[in-house]
Amino acid sequence: MVFKNIRFVTNDMDAMRRLYAADHQDTSWPSHLRSLGAFETWLDQWDLRGWLEDGQIEVMFASNHEQAIGYGTIVRVPAEFAPDDVTAVEGGSYLSYHARGVGLNQQLKSRLHATAAVQYQANKVVYAISLDNTRARRAMLNLPWSCCEVTSDMPNSPWYKFLRRRQWETQTNISLYVFDLIKIFDTSPLTK
């Protein structure tokens, strides 16, 4: 399927509810958000993050598709869990099953990276992905930007404290994928 004229809408909770109704049984939908109650609680948390300007949801649409085809999230990484002199956000994303494999992951991540750099003044974006999610882990490595992968067997990594926190929160083994926004944008968009 071809998707034309990709656009993003920030914190469109009604579109997120329609996406949930269409996709929550997809095997790639976040497992902790399959029940309607858990999903609504999650949306409430993102609504609060948006109000506090601590994070946001970017809902992805295509002009030739009636409903959302995916979403991305970004939230500030607390300074005590980030390496020294790093301002970071954590990113997350989901694409509908019919929107995968056509290059939209790169467009979604590009949107998240630009928002992180400009709106949140971040210099790093980190993604926490379950070791069981081989498709998502492979997709990270297929992006056109280099990243650093951090795993639990790397206790000397400056990201190790954040990795341990996210593993405790999710109760799952994860890898972190860290993208340097200064390298992605070749120079900080904040200095232009």
Q: What pLDDT, in 10s, does the model give residues 102-120?
A: 999 999 999 999 999 999 9
pLDDT value at 188 more than 60 = no
Indicate the helix (H) or strand (E) that contains 140. Answer: helix 134-141
**What are 130's two structure tokens?**
């379950």
**Does the predicted model carry a pTM greater than 0.75?**
yes
> What pLDDT, in 10s, does the model give residues 138-180?
999 999 999 999 999 999 999 999 999 999 999 999 999 999 9
**What are 9's two structure tokens?**
């809408």
Three-class SS of residue 187? Answer: coil
Closest CA to 166 of 126, 137, 125: 126
The vertex-121 CA angle with 7 and 190, nearest 5°, equals 85
- Separate counts of helices (H) and strands (E) for the chain: 6, 7
β partners of residue 59: 9, 71
